[in-house]
Structure 1
């Protein structure tokens, strides 16, 4: 019933403000429950905001961990820019010093076929045989590379000198180009890859046609007249031992390092620990840890002695995360040395308030006496403890620090840490074994002839363990992710209940108004009847 009708009825009825009364009764019935739901949403939002702070602080700590990775404690130094080192696998670095004497650089074979009028000059059709191999020192004897069979390149009619260069360049390991000599002639230059075994021999079989005869490019007997530069290996003395390599980028002198040679020279490559880098990294780590632990302490504070409680006080999930962090930091690092490594010895001291500080005296003592212990802070380490065994591969997140036993039985079946491995013979007595399951999955072990058992050691660094814990916590199924999902769900449920309650309030108010309208009609009718009776009595009194 409309409010105008209710007002009209009310003038001759009870005289009460029935709309206000209906609203008051509806509010009394629904307001307490609405306040509870609003309070729940507000609390959930506060907690979500606090979790966002935790997530942001975790990301800041992850940034600090990444910063330590860009400031390595183990560095590679060189005494000459002509021997430029590059770290390819930091986990393989070990302190070392290697003297090198570069006697000669690796070179590409360069052939020049000169005296042509133009790059557009036609070349006779036919075939051009191509072989890779090694020329004798006098350029008169050639030994083909058996691993790369000879090729026959078809030279179709209408091919120009530039077209021939294109056909040659399409062969992997060859670059050919036509060069203007500046004297009215052009030359066809053919260049191989570096290394004495990458030299070229060309054998022509032309069909004639009035163009450049293919025999002009034949070097099957000798290349001495065409060779501008001979293909050669780099020759280097490593600790006085002569070695040769086909390129000037050498990757097997120092584990985890490749060296680019650019000149005949002498020098030394050194892998050493940088004390200042270690100091900087530890201070960065301490600052990052204090940021996380200080925030968690504040948010989970129970509010004693009149102090306000934190926004996540009593949240068991976040308290568990806080305990996990403390436990990780308090656990000695294993797998790096013959004894556990304690953070306090490396200069990370724990304060009474649960935060951390850099302890220079402890740092100085350990860096002076056991500098290798600092490797346990910043980089995982996987190595063999047995001569004749080597290991490589990406370590899974499930592998824990410690020693792993490797063994091969009489049937050739291998195990690493109790998990089966697949074996492959390499044809020279060595065998490679690959783990296909368990926490060692992805690791491969290379065993020298006769080696059937041994030990490997893995150490997970503090930075690696922290990074893994933070990543797990931030995942959708991790502690922070689950709590955010729970609070989101709680807020959505409360909002839905509020909407339902507000809709119900409208129905309740309408019901009250309907009932009050019926009541007003009855009151109005009763008052009308009363007025009629009073008037009738007055008439009776006058007539009597």
Structure 2
């Protein structure tokens, strides 16, 4: 018995470690180790997938930004406004010319004979702006311009400043008065001029009842005419030449601008002229000749191509890295094997290197592609192309749309009295009316009357003519305009017409940057009606990210609950074991005591 008891108490672990100082303790450290093992097996793989997915989401956002950047250049090179820009080359300084976008390329030769001027005068000099001008009595005088008469009232106390203010108040819409300090003992003069230029702006002074015009030097009194050196100017007969006070104080004479434009004599009442050709503004500066060439401004085309090349090469580098795979190391890019990404490079390469239906390719326009797919740009090659045929560059870059000539030929017009009232004939929604023709009118006469009626209706894009025998109407369009004829059948038939709707044949040539722009836009588009391939892929990544995080959260919650339950149970176990250990310890003491008594 003693041996059996001794064997039990000397066990290294005992029953669940009972009574053993070296027992396995049911503590938090052990629980955490078990929990960590479960987490490594169940949570860590999901965490790695989340991290990889997050990296793809970030890399995709960067890739979409690069595509958007290069697409800005594609879009700019596919924008007609880029090819409509103009600049003006000039020789000579007698004028300047500006040209709006889209103006036809052309040369202008100008020979300025005379500038448009205002009528302007200076007054006699005064010591001060507040000097009384010297009216002999209260009265008034009249200013005449453009057939309009303005009455200026003057008092004996009127000062130079008062007069200036009064003129501007009464006649300021047509004339201007201002005081200028010219220096000297009497430095102040009143400068008076028409607001506008041109012969029609001639100024007259009349009906002076105040005597003020003589004080200003604007009257009809005469004085000797002196030259620049102060010497008397003589007439041909040797008598003294005189001049009125008004003309002596004249600064400029109202006059029209006179010049030749490409040999054609032109007169205008101003020096800035914008009605010679639509979109062209000419500003006359001085007499003399100048020549101008309105040419295409190619600077922005070159800049956009340079920007496109830089953005494209950056995008290509990113695509190469993100889709790469190293067979030796086994390393791969974030999008290696992702078809939505790997096909982008292939498609871009295909679009850039393909020839259009006319056999044109990018290398003919200064853009070349290396073996690594990177592109380069030679501005001189493009400039030569632009100088030789700018329309060809535009057509290759952004494409064009042309239309076949649409022709509608009616039947022979009938003879006799015919007419159209409102609603009998409508072409493209425009009503054509025709007064009744003569009862004896021939088919040709009625056809001619119909032709005039249609032309008078001014139908946009529609050209009307007659057949060779001049008895049948022919309608044509060349710009894509359709032809729609509607009306009263009984009336139309008499003119050889019928109700019909015709559409011209459209011929589209898609330019290289139009194709690239469409492709890049389709990759990233995100509208309720359409999602690009990268947008859809991004949505899938975001959905996967949510699923992974939800699964990770679920497993972590489950593990936390599992080990929290285990901890609670182990606490109970520990309490039971502690109680048992105490009981066993007491029993052991009693047994040892009894054994001790027996051995005495």
Give the alignment's TM-score, normalised by structure 1: 0.60
Aligned match of 1:530: 584
Aligned match of 1:455: 479
Q: Which string of whole-angstrom CA distances, capped at 9 and with x for unpartnered residues, describes residues 300-352 of structure 1? A: 53537567543334555556765775576468789xxxx79654543434556
- Answer yes or no: is the 8 Å Cα contact 1:431–1:449 preserved in 2: no
- Answer yes or no: is the 8 Å Cα contact 2:50–2:549 preserved in 1: no
Q: CA deviation at 1:20?
A: 1.4
Structure 2 unaligned residues grouped into runs of 5+: 1-17, 220-243, 406-426, 433-454, 466-474, 481-506
Q: Which string of whole-angstrom CA distances, capped at 9 and with x for unpartnered residues, describes residues 70-104 of structure 1? A: 99996531122433333431x3342x323222222
Correspondence for 2:190 among 188, 205, 215 = 188
Correspondence for 1:28 among 30, 33, 37 = 37
Q: Following the alignment from structure 2 to structure 1, what is the Cα–Cα distance between the partners of residues 112 and 67?
A: 50
- Answer yes or no: is the 8 Å Cα contact 1:302–1:310 preserved in 2: yes
Find out whether 1:234 has 2:246 as its counterpart: no
CA 1:498–1:10 in structure 2 vs 1: closer, same or farther (change >3 Å)? farther
Q: CA deviation at 1:110?
A: 2.8
Q: Which string of whole-angstrom CA distances, capped at 9 and with x for unpartnered residues, describes residues 179-227 of structure 1? A: 013241422324445531772758899999xx979997999xx986764
Matched pairs, number: 464
The 5 A counterparts of 1:335-374 are 342-350=361-369, 354-357=373-376, 370=389, 372-374=391-393
The 5 A counterparts of 1:275-290 are 284=306, 287-288=309-310, 290=312
The 5 A counterparts of 1:75-224 are 75-89=87-101, 91-94=102-105, 96-120=106-130, 133=146, 142=147, 160-161=161-162, 164=165, 167=168, 176-183=177-184, 184-196=186-198, 199=201
Q: CA deviation at 1:520?
A: 0.9
Q: Following the alignment from structure 1 to structure 2, what is the Cα–Cα distance between the partners of residues 449 and 115?
A: 71
CA 1:324–1:60 in structure 2 vs 1: closer, same or farther (change >3 Å)? closer
Give SS of 1:108's match: coil
Aligned match of 2:471: none
CA 1:517–1:56 in structure 2 vs 1: closer, same or farther (change >3 Å)? same
Aligned match of 2:415: none
Q: Following the alignment from structure 2 to structure 1, what is the Cα–Cα distance between the partners of residues 19 and 166?
A: 107
CA 1:296–1:41 in structure 2 vs 1: closer, same or farther (change >3 Å)? same
Give the alignment's TM-score, normalised by structure 2: 0.55
Q: Following the alignment from structure 2 to structure 1, what is the Cα–Cα distance between the partners of residues 153 and 44?
A: 87
258-267 vs 346-355, greater mean Cα deviation = 346-355
Q: Following the alignment from structure 2 to structure 1, what is the Cα–Cα distance between the partners of residues 338 and 154?
A: 79
Give SS of 1:455's match: coil
CA 1:499–1:201 in structure 2 vs 1: closer, same or farther (change >3 Å)? farther
The 5 A counterparts of 1:380-459 are 408-411=428-431, 454-455=478-479
Aligned match of 2:239: none
Who wins on radius of gyration, i.e. which is larger?
A: 2
Q: Following the alignment from structure 2 to structure 1, what is the Cα–Cα distance between the partners of residues 175 and 402?
A: 40
Q: Which string of whole-angstrom CA distances, capped at 9 and with x for unpartnered residues, describes residues 434-477 of structure 1? A: xxxxxxxxxxx899999995517999976687678768877876
Q: Following the alignment from structure 2 to structure 1, what is the Cα–Cα distance between the partners of residues 293 and 318?
A: 43
Give SS of 1:92's match: coil
CA 1:449–1:18 in structure 2 vs 1: closer, same or farther (change >3 Å)? same
Q: Following the alignment from structure 2 to structure 1, what is the Cα–Cα distance between the partners of residues 317 and 100?
A: 37
Q: Following the alignment from structure 1 to structure 2, what is the Cα–Cα distance between the partners of residues 470 and 172?
A: 58
Q: CA deviation at 1:298?
A: 0.9
CA 1:66–1:506 in structure 2 vs 1: closer, same or farther (change >3 Å)? same
- Answer yes or no: is the 8 Å Cα contact 1:234–1:245 preserved in 2: yes
CA 1:341–1:196 in structure 2 vs 1: closer, same or farther (change >3 Å)? farther
153-162 vs 295-304, greater mean Cα deviation = 153-162
Give SS of 1:98's match: strand
- Answer yes or no: is the 8 Å Cα contact 2:398–2:510 preserved in 1: yes
Give SS of 2:313's match: helix
Correspondence for 2:317 among 269, 280, 295 = 295
Aligned match of 1:44: 54
Q: CA deviation at 1:237?
A: 1.3
Q: Which structure would you say has the larger RCO, counting Cα contacts within 8 Å and 6 or more residues apart?
A: 1
521-530 vs 265-274, greater mean Cα deviation = 265-274
Give SS of 2:335's match: coil
Q: Following the alignment from structure 2 to structure 1, what is the Cα–Cα distance between the partners of residues 540 and 428?
A: 50
Q: Following the alignment from structure 1 to structure 2, what is the Cα–Cα distance between the partners of residues 515 and 56?
A: 58
Q: CA deviation at 1:243?
A: 2.1
Structure 1 unaligned residues grouped into runs of 5+: 1-8, 134-141, 145-149, 387-406, 413-428, 434-444
CA 1:192–1:16 in structure 2 vs 1: closer, same or farther (change >3 Å)? farther
